[in-house]
Structure 1
Amino acid sequence: MTRTILVTGASDGIGAVAARRLAEDGHRVLVAGRDRTRTQHVASDVGGDAFVADLARLGEVRALAADVLAATDGRLDVLVSNAGGILGRRALTEDGNEATMQVNHLAPFLLVHLLADALREGAGLVVQTASAAHHAGRIPVAAAGADLSLRRGYSPARAYANAKLANVLMVRGIAAHMPDLHAVALHPGVVATSFGSGSTSLLRLVYRGVARRLLTTDEHAGETLAMLAAGTPGAEWTPMTTWTSGGYYDGRRVGRASRASHDVALIDAVWRASAAAVGLPPR
């Protein structure tokens, strides 16, 4: 069955691979990216619409949602939320949020909510690119709520781990707060693309030199992402055909999510803090 699928972070890497594979399988694919030229190139390849947005600006996320709704007449089957990255020194966006958290988590969180009604009109699926780095994430919760700002102990790697933990918590939160939608998180593997190249983190070194030969190819990871987008929520995991809503997958197998990702209180606290950060009501 043909689906209408939006893929963010589709200007290159696994997002571009996923978009091309989905188009080859007959789906209508819309691609979103930050770089206009590369995004339009991928859109041309898949015969779909191109949308340009910088997730570091929530205003552009809102504009992206409005443009997608207009292009799809308010019906979208799948949101593949793939955009993100490892950034450098701690910085705040113009919206007042820690930049790594906004680009990797808060912008996708807002986009899910803005497209929620369109997704309900369709298959209602959200595929979120996460990372095994979420195991190192530590999001503190105090009386004021979950702290997504990482004011103390900042490092690019820690900021990324916290954002990826927030991704997995969001997928769990969709099951709790938006039961008419289905969401899944994927660790695609450590992929040999340009990901991380703009960071000052030592993690960027993993993507260079000899270590690069040991990484997953973007073709393999992108195909996995496409398989989930074309799959169906089910009670059991049938590789690349059915997947469990709220689940976390490591490549093409069931993954072991962190203990923190199962903490109901943390899921709720991060959901509320995320909603506040992007200007949404907590429910």
Structure 2
Amino acid sequence: MKPPAFEYAAPLTIDEAVKLLASSSGGAKVISGGQSLMPMLAFRLAAPDLLVDLKRLSGLNQITISDDGIHLGARVRWCDIEADNRLAKCHPLLAKAIEHVAHYQVRNRGTVGGSLAHADPSAEMPGIAVTCDAVLTIVGSAGTRTEVATNFFTGPLQTTLGSDEILTDVLLPAWSAERRWAFLEFARRKGDFAMAGVALFYDLDGAGRVTNTHIGAIGVADCPIRLHAVETVLNGKVLDDQAIAAAAKTVHETVEPPSDIHAPSAYRRSLLATLLERGLRQSATRGS
């Protein structure tokens, strides 16, 4: 299989990259690691007139930890996250999720920005971004804007990115040292896209009750979602067997995954409920 013919450019600055995108009138694609785009080109699922490669842009491959949280440049690779020992403490949920991304070869090339812009509903990074209230920085012809991750994804492989815009930075808000968390997903084979996955974290108040609950799911909707109804059920409760059972029951009552060739809706819903239950039990052992 061969990709369709296209022009290629590797600009030196963000401004130059934005101008190239704007001049193409929607016919250009941004390429970073290429782990999603190149297969799409090979299968003729994408046919851009121009590829704008971000590999020469400086400053987009940095991981910065500050008081406001963790900044991930759009060109940060999965292997960069794996190799940064600070993240096991500063954001263990992110570090754990990246262990599930595809295979070693893909993690050496795939990037944070590429995954978010591609917006596969089963991918780990979009799920982490939605669960953690990530703030995305986007640069385009009209200037720089920010957007929360929950508003960024609009459907399968669809986002609010304009044809002349580039995602440059992801901010994950600061992480509490005592926070409880878990990430679980299920795939038919290791490295495959998740049939369902759950990312969760919460804090405990002085009486040991759950507060600030964040629960996200991948693989069960057209884009990564927050399970707000489940969060409401858990907030203010002690995380005992009764609370966990109520959370799983709420998944069955509120989540309606699509059916496809891999699994019917009822299977995915039951799988998600099981992953949530296991994740909550796993999280309860952290920090104790």
TM-score, length-normalised on structure 2?
0.28
Greater Rg over alpha carbons, structure: 2
Would you tell me which structure has more helix in proportion to its own residues?
A: 1
TM-score, length-normalised on structure 1?
0.29
Greater RCO structure (CA 8 Å; 6+ sep): 1
Would you tell me which structure has more strand in proportion to its own residues?
A: 2
